[in-house]
Amino acid sequence: MSETAEIVLPTTKIKSVKKDPSKLVLYAPPKMGKTTVVAELENNLLMDIAKAIEEAGKPYKFITIDTITKLEEMVLPLALKLYKATPMGKNFKGSDVLILPNGAGYLYLRKAFLKVLARLESLADNVILIGHLKDKMINSKGKEVNAKDLDLTGKLKSIVCADADAIGYLHRDGNKTLVNFASSDEVLCGSRCNHLRGKEVTLAEGDDNGNIKVDWSQIYID
């Protein structure tokens, strides 16, 4: 008779070993320096060359997707392939699943996007998703306010944000580039990481000569 292993449940709080955000979402208005600051992050790859990365032994600590809006467009052929692999889609003659009635094609867009994203996440310890800003009007305490949000399609935005360890809104104040992790009615952001929760950190600072110093040490502390 085989023995059943005894399951021992934890009785004390287990501290998290990893402090840094494995998946970081940064979004900002155009021309705010998003690409500039991630280019200064050491050991960071900004492009998708998955096969070459695996063959090289996954040498990068960070991978940046710049931007996730472009990635959403790039996975459309994969979304079409996924749909045509289904019984209902095998006879589809179109070239874009987004023309399917009742928004049915967005399901396959999400599947394709998340499939590619999972592939990228397997190649490095940390993934940074750069996104554009989308302004929208919301009702806050009976008043219409302009809210800053991540520009990503429908449910896909909710899925990406829910899975992120930190979401930061990147903006400028004078010669400083700041990342806000303190959520409010006007700004979508936040963090599961204790050192970023409710904080606003300085990511870059310029001097009078136009030189810019980028410092990621307040975000990645491990």
Percent of the chain with pLDDT over 90: 29
30 vs 74, more confident: 74
Give the span between the Cα atoms of 101 and 87, in whole angstroms. 16
Check pLDDT > 50 for residue 119. Answer: yes
- Cβ–Cβ under 8 Å, residues 220 and 64: no
Q: How confident is the model at residue 139 (pLDDT cuts 50, 70, 90)?
A: very low
- Cβ–Cβ under 8 Å, residues 71 and 131: no
What is the topology classification, in CATH, of domain 23-214?
Rossmann fold (3.40.50)
Domain ranges of the chain: 23-214
Alpha-carbon dihedral of residues 191, 137, 112, 18, nearest 10 degrees?
Answer: 0
Give the span between the Cα atoms of 86 and 100, in whole angstroms. 14
Confidence (pLDDT) at 91? 93
Q: How confident is the model at residue 14 (pLDDT cuts 50, 70, 90)?
A: low
For the chain, the C-alpha Rg in angstroms (whole number) is 21
Return the SS3 of 137. Answer: strand
pLDDT in tens, 31-40: 777 777 777 7
Least confident of 98-102, 152-156, 209-213: 152-156
The mean per-residue pLDDT over the stretch 186-202 comes to 89
